[in-house]
Amino acid sequence: LRPRAPRPAVRPEGELSFDWAAVAEVRAQLDRPDPAWARSLGDITAETLAVAGGPGSHVPQADIAALADRVPRARLVTVPAGHLVHRTSPRAFLDVVLPFLRRGAAGCVAPDPSG
């Protein structure tokens, strides 16, 4: 939501489990966020679940809360597992996400296959 001082990205040694080329792109967006993007969060009409990793995450939790506050039907849940919640605590992650998805799916109507 707010610009931050750019810091050079230092590539970790060895084989990576993520796309290092994407890091520069993401960092540029975090360093100089487009104000229109943050304003557009209020246009989201779907129920939204934001999952935060708590104090062990490198992402400032106040920033995640601020983003969730901008989405009208968002709910913020913290799973104290660090940045990679789904990998660090998969059971806790699923305990939060699956009920959210099931509630949403219960309101969906399958399309009529006959057209």
List, for residues 74-92, the tens digit of each pLDDT value. 999 999 999 999 999 999 9
Does residue 115 form part of some domain?
no
Residue 111 resides in a domain: no
CATH code for the domain of 33: 3.40.50.1820
Domain assignment present for residue 66? The answer is yes
Tell me the C-alpha distance between 42 and 31, whole Å. 22
**Which residues have C-beta within 8 Å of that of residue 92, sequence separation ≥ 6?**
79, 81, 85
**7 located within any domain:** no
Q: Is 64 in contact with 76 (CB distance < 8 Å)?
A: yes
pLDDT of 108 higher than 90: no
pLDDT at 109: 58
Q: pLDDT tens digits for 61-71? A: 999 999 999 99
Q: Domain of residue 73: give its range.
A: 20-106
> 40 in a domain, yes or no?
yes
User: Is the pLDDT score of 6 beyond 90?
Assistant: no
The reported pLDDT for the residue numbered 81 is 97
For the entire predicted model, the pTM comes to: 0.74
Q: Is residue 1 part of a domain?
A: no
Residue 3 included in any domain: no
Residue 5 lies in a domain: no
- 75 beta partners: 49
Residue type, 87: R
Percent of the chain at pLDDT > 70 equals 90
Domain count along the chain: 1
Question: For residue 35, is pLDDT > 90?
Answer: no
52-74 CB burial, b ≥16 within 10 A, e <16: bbeeebeeeeeebeebbeebeeb
